[in-house]
Amino acid sequence: MTEPHKLRMGMVGGGPGAFIGPVHRIAAELDGKIELVAGAFSQSPERSREAGMRFRLDPARAYADYRQMIEAESKRADGVDFVAIVAPNHMHLPVALAALESGIAVMSDKPAAASYEEALELQAAVAKSGLLYGLTHTYAGYAMVREARALCATGKLGTIRKVAVEYMQGWLSGPLESTGHKQAVWRTDPALSGAGGAIGDIGTHAFHLIEYISGLKVTAMNATLRTVVPGRRLDDDCNAFLRMNNGAEGSLACSQIAAGEMNELRVRVYGEKGSLEWRHQDPNRLIVRWLDGPEQIHHASMSYLSAEARAVARTPAGHPEGYLEAFAVLYREFADALLTWKQGRANSPPATLPGIEAGVRGMRFIERAIESHRIAGWVEF
Ligand SMILES: NC(=O)c1ccc[n+]([C@@H]2O[C@H](COP(=O)([O-])OP(=O)(O)OC[C@H]3O[C@@H](n4cnc5c(N)ncnc54)[C@H](O)[C@@H]3O)[C@@H](O)[C@H]2O)c1
């Protein structure tokens, strides 16, 4: 049975001047399975209306706030099928709870909430609702990240003994927040960002990615947090040692004061027979190195790749895909899972789509990093 209409998306956040809202809109609509029909795009009702006009929405569906949107949309026969949450972190829990309580599925940006306790509350609400919850840990949508994950799962690298993940940005090297810069202001305000600064904003991505690719879980961590820019209220730099559930050890570094870096995310996994390396700046290639063989470069969309990597490729080899397509992979998986659920079948999203479990682990990572820093030592997960 096919769904007679596209899945209807309502968006919270993503108004004029926003960073990630436009990315979600493009990604959600890329495969023709989803359309934006409603939104509460800003904390300012006027700006929300203005955004609705710009997106050619029915003016009645550009709402003054998210509560109004969820209330009105849940009464409409053609109301939204899911809510995309792209507002700052402190809005993630209240919006997700309101949607789930009204029977509406959720696709949220990370981190899942503003604290670990909030994430647990959200996890309980997701379980109680039986509804789909997706979390846009973007990098999980890259074909070569899927290839790396599939390669680790085959065991060909041998027992994994060391992992390393780095996420370096330089855009907060100075007190940008004091200039009123939209994205810097809320990210450095604990009331809007939560307890994590760089660790919440990009550390959660790094943490998710190392578990996602290696298939291992972090069991203990020893982290140092710093606030390098004077007057800043949250961390902007972190170095952490990791211990994994198979005995492997490794490191996670993230920074927003790494001057000159744009978005340098790099993952390495070392097994006893070989290793892999993926860099976000070169996302269509995966480097695989062997102890007893030559270095290999796996290219996106090639026929020799794993089924998992081939399943998410859209363009032929040599036609590079990037950030928007990776995001769209997560939306496509979310849409397919939601359609399955709407057709009366089980709510069983694919394991490749990050969900509430990843959200809770990400918030636990922030909480544990802060605790480890406080006691200046190792903490169990
Ligand atoms: N997955 C990723 O790679 C990625 C990248 C960037 C940001 N993010 C996440 O996306 C979220 C937004 O980040 P951003 O950089 O786009 O922020 P932003 O400041 O650029 O945009 C936030 C938007 O939310 C709106 N907003 C604020 N309060 C609101 C409210 N109460 N109701 C409705 N709208 C409201 C703002 O007006 C703005 O339009 C954050 O949680 C961030 O962590 C994820």
pLDDT of res. 5: 83
For the chain, give the mean pLDDT: 97
Distance of CA 372 to the CA centre of its chain: 24
Residue bearing tokens 């939560």: 194
Residue 136 CA: nearest ligand 1 atom is 1
Ligand 1: residue whose CA is nearest its atom 40: 88
Stretches where the chain sits below pLDDT 50 are 1
Given the CA of residue 16, which atom of ligand 1 is nearest to it? 39
For residues 265 and 205, is the Cβ–Cβ distance under 8 A?
yes
**For ligand 1, atom 28, which residue shows the shortest CA distance?**
43
Q: Which atom of ligand 1 is nearest to the CA of 92?
A: 41
Question: Tell me, what's the pLDDT at 348?
Answer: 83
Q: Report which protein residue has its CA nearest ligand 1's atom 31.
A: 43
pLDDT confidence of residue 6:
95
Question: Which residues, 6 or more positions from 16, have their beta carbon under 8 angstroms from its beta carbon?
Answer: 41, 42, 47, 50, 51, 54
From the CA of 21, how far away is ligand 1's center (Å)? Answer: 7
Q: Which residue has the CA at smallest separation from atom 3 of ligand 1?
A: 138
Residue 290 is predicted with a pLDDT of: 98
Contacts of 72 (CB under 8 A, 6+ apart): 61, 63, 79
Q: Which residue, by CA, sits nearest to atom 5 of ligand 1? A: 20
- Residue 2 pLDDT: 54
Sheet hosting strand 133-135, strand order edge to edge = 34-40, 7-13, 82-86, 105-108, 133-135
Q: Which pair of structure tokens corresponds to residue 62?
A: 């550009």
Centroid of ligand 1 to alpha carbon of 183 (angstroms): 8
Q: Which of 41, 54, 70, 109 to mutate to test the pocket of ligand 1 (most atoms within 8 A of CB)?
A: 109
Neighbours of 349 (CB within 10 A): 19
DSSP state at residue 312: H
Protein residue with its CA nearest to atom 36 in ligand 1: 42
Which residue out of 86, 136, 207, 366 has the highest number of ligand 1 atoms within 8 Å of its CB and is therefore the one to mutate? 86
Distance from residue 13's CA to the centre of ligand 1 (Å): 6
Task: Tell which atom from ligand 1 comes closest to the C-alpha of 323.
Answer: 3
What is the pTM (predicted TM-score) of this model? 0.97
Q: Which of 250, 7, 28 is nearest to 136 (CA)?
A: 28
pLDDT given for residue 347 in this prediction: 78
Condensed to tens digits (0 to 9), the pLDDT of residues 95-135 reads 999 999 999 999 999 999 999 999 999 999 999 999 999 99
**Which domains are present in the chain?**
7-139+327-355 (3.40.50.720), 143-311+362-380 (3.30.360.10)
Q: Which of 261, 246, 238, 277 is nearest to 370 (CA)?
A: 238
166 alpha carbon – ligand 1 mean position (Å): 23
Report which ligand 1 atom has the smallest distance to the Cα of 200.
Answer: 43
Ligand 1-lining residues (CB < 6 angstroms): 12-15, 18-21, 40-43, 66, 86-89, 91, 109-110, 136, 138, 182-183, 186, 201
For ligand 1, the distance from its centroid to the CA atom of residue 296, given in whole angstroms, is: 39
- Mutate which of 11, 20, 201, 280 for ligand 1? The one with the most ligand atoms within 8 Å of its CB, which is 20
CA distance 361 to 354: 11
Joined tokens for residue 98: 């309101």
203 alpha carbon – ligand 1 mean position (Å)? 17
Enumerate the H helices of the chain as residue ranges. 20-29, 45-54, 66-75, 92-101, 116-129, 143-154, 182-187, 190-193, 198, 204-214, 307-312, 323-342, 356-375
